[in-house]
Structure 1
Amino acid sequence: MPLWVFITLSAALFQCWRTALQQRLRGQLSLNGAAVVRYLYGVPFGLMILLTYWLIMGGSFGPVNLGFIGLCALAGIGQIFGTNLLISSFGPRGFAVGTAYSKTEAVQAAVIAVILLGEVLPALSWLGIAVSLSGVMYLSLAGRGLKGADILRATTQPAALCGIGAGFCFALTSIFIRKANMTLPGEDAILKALFSVVVTNVIQTLLQGGWLLLREPKQLLAVFRTWRNSMQVGALSAFGSSCWFVGFSLAPVAMVRAVGQSEIIFTLLFSRFFLGERLKTKDVLGALTLVSGVVLVLVGALR
């Protein structure tokens, strides 16, 4: 198995685990409060991961430039909006379905990467992405008619709009991350990716933390009061982001995001056994269709 595939699967697991914990925090914090903990508490863990890698592997990279900082800022802003939209999507139809809608990011990332980065995907991988998208559509349309008006209502429901919007933001984040790694001088792609995680999380903490300070000061205090649970979210976020950033540095964005759709398997397990949500048969079938698409993507990539 290529290293980037293993790293991407790890990223999917960490992300699902972290999002499930964030969903629990929604009972104690506002939307922005639950979102900011992943950055605020993620910074020290990100530094730990970066220093551990550097102490073991060594290496260096060139001077930080404004282009790199700007791209990290754009990636951070995209991730902030994506996280808020993702959390918002859970309310209407639950954790599993909200996450499934956000997985349209694979298709969106593929199209954006082709346009902005010139990435090329094999035909079988494109087929896999299409199959995954059909799984998302099945989730959206399950229990509804197939007339034009029914399709329009299903794809404009709150869960769909928030989830697909989150996918778009995460797709843009992926592009900015890869561009940031390419902008930073140096030969060790993994070291540069881990440094990018720390820089991005610091920027995110300043941006969303500043928003809380100005608009929701009581929530900022609540973020510190819930430090035990919030620290777990931060740790998982740091490990997950590190894996995503490294994956983007080692393989095309579209491939990483497509394989990352395997998160839906972890999501179903967390939804059922961690959050206690009851899953409908149609939701499981739609999710499994997503996974079959991921398998096709991998087969196409490894041929």
Structure 2
Amino acid sequence: MPLWVWLTLGTVLAQTARNAIARSMVEEISAPLNSWARYAFMLPWLFPVVIFFVMRSGMPHVSPSYLAYAVIAAICQITGGVLLIMAFKHSNFAQSVIFHKLGVVFIAVIGVLFFQESPSRLAWLGILLCSVGIVLMNIGRELGPSGWRQAFHLDRGGVLAVMCALILACFNFTAKRSLQILVQDNPHLQEASFESLILACFLVTALDTVILTLYLLLRHSGQFRHVCRLWPRMVMVGTASLANSLMWFWAVSLTLVAYVAAVSQIESALAVLLGLIIWREHEVWRQIPGVALLIGGMTLVILG
């Protein structure tokens, strides 16, 4: 299999772990602090590596266009992350992850319309199968109207997860474009090189941390008292987020964003398993046909 497929599978495992740990904290802390932990506890891992590269290659040139895309990417990432954590409060874990994976449809359309990223016909078929698989998984839920109306019924958690999907679709492209501009502005960097991935990831993460820190200090400063109690889980969230971010940046630098998004749909199947094993969400047994379609769709995307 191509390298980008292996990297995407790695992001799936890391993101599933991150979401599961974040899900365990939703009743204890606010959604903004939960998201803050993701970024704040990534920085200690990234900072020494960034210092090493700066000492070796010099300070990279940061153009206004790169900074603009990075700021937009950071805002989209923060908003999408907070919406997903809010969705965990109103829906079960599996459903929230499944709905936010509808982003593959948004990504495919946005890529064609605005970023000249056009998947092959076989890949389009795979993306369509992934989307139908998600609809079938929704039909398997216990709550909501009967019959086929269940396929498109959205409760509050579902609406939040779909909004998350749309916003994170925008993040995917703005973050990829920021990485491309960084490489163009710094000839010593290569788009898929580890150095460019670290630098791009560091700046977006630093922006995320600063924005959320200022927001929490101004609106919910008392929330920081929970950090001393929950720091072990926050460290795990940050570590999983680091692995997820680096592999994602690398994967999208090698292929179309829509391809990476389609293969990452396997996270829906993992969410179903975790929901069944950890949170006893027994309705997921009825979502197995949807999981099968997801796997078939991802196979077509890889072949395409």
- Using structure 2 for the length normalisation, give the TM-score: 0.88
Say which of 204, 210, 213 aligns to 2:208: 204
Is the 1:61–1:188 contact (alpha carbons within 8 Å) kept by the matching residues of 2?
Answer: no
Q: Does 1:238 align with 2:242?
A: yes
Whole-Å separation in 2 of the counterparts to 1:283 and 1:158: 20
Give the equivalent residue in structure 2 for 1:168.
166
Give the equivalent residue in structure 2 for 1:31.
31
Q: Read off the aligned partner of 1:105 and give its amino acid letter.
A: G
Q: Deviations over 1:121-155 (max 9, x none)?
A: 111110111111112222333464456xx369x43
Q: Deviations over 1:156-213 (max 9, x none)?
A: 3223211111111111110001110111123422322221111011100111111111
Q: CA deviation at 1:51?
A: 6.6
Is the 1:29–1:223 contact (alpha carbons within 8 Å) kept by the matching residues of 2?
Answer: no
Q: 1:295 to 1:145 in 2, by over 3 A?
A: same
Say which of 265, 271, 274 aligns to 2:275: 271
Q: 1:140 to 1:66 in 2, by over 3 A?
A: same
Classify the secondary structure of the residue corresponding to 2:118.
coil
Give the equivalent residue in structure 1 for 2:2.
2
Q: Deviations over 1:48-94 (max 9, x none)?
A: 56578x59xx8788511121122111111111111111122223431
Is the 2:125–2:297 contact (alpha carbons within 8 Å) kept by the matching residues of 1?
Answer: yes
Give the equivalent residue in structure 1 for 2:138.
140
Q: 1:131 to 1:215 in 2, by over 3 A?
A: same
Classify the secondary structure of the residue corresponding to 1:280.
helix
Whole-Å separation in 2 of the counterparts to 1:119 and 1:49: 32
Is the 2:42–2:205 contact (alpha carbons within 8 Å) kept by the matching residues of 1?
Answer: yes
Whole-Å separation in 2 of the counterparts to 1:205 and 1:84: 13
Is the 1:17–1:270 contact (alpha carbons within 8 Å) kept by the matching residues of 2?
Answer: no
Whole-Å separation in 2 of the counterparts to 1:267 and 1:151: 20
Q: Does 1:181 align with 2:179?
A: yes
Give the equivalent residue in structure 1 for 2:118.
120
Q: Structure 1 vs Structure 2: percent identity of aligned residues?
A: 25
1:284-299 map, 5 Å: 284-299=288-303
Whole-Å separation in 1 of the counterparts to 2:216 and 2:207: 14
Classify the secondary structure of the residue corresponding to 2:265.
helix
1:42-81 map, 5 Å: 42-47=42-47, 62-81=60-79
Unaligned runs of 5+ in 2: none
Q: Read off the aligned partner of 1:115 and give its amino acid letter.
A: L
Classify the secondary structure of the residue corresponding to 1:25.
coil
Q: Read off the aligned partner of 2:296 and give its amino acid letter.
A: S
Whole-Å separation in 2 of the counterparts to 1:250 and 1:69: 22
Number of residue pairs matched by the alignment: 294
Whole-Å separation in 1 of the counterparts to 2:178 and 2:90: 35
Give the equivalent residue in structure 1 for 2:285.
281
Is the 2:26–2:88 contact (alpha carbons within 8 Å) kept by the matching residues of 1?
Answer: no
Q: Read off the aligned partner of 1:109 and give its amino acid letter.
A: I
Q: CA deviation at 1:225?
A: 3.6
Whole-Å separation in 2 of the counterparts to 1:49 and 1:162: 35
Is the 1:5–1:259 contact (alpha carbons within 8 Å) kept by the matching residues of 2?
Answer: yes
Q: 1:11 to 1:60 in 2, by over 3 A?
A: farther
Moved more, 273-282 or 130-139: 273-282
Q: CA deviation at 1:281?
A: 1.9
- Using structure 1 for the length normalisation, give the TM-score: 0.89
Unaligned runs of 5+ in 1: none
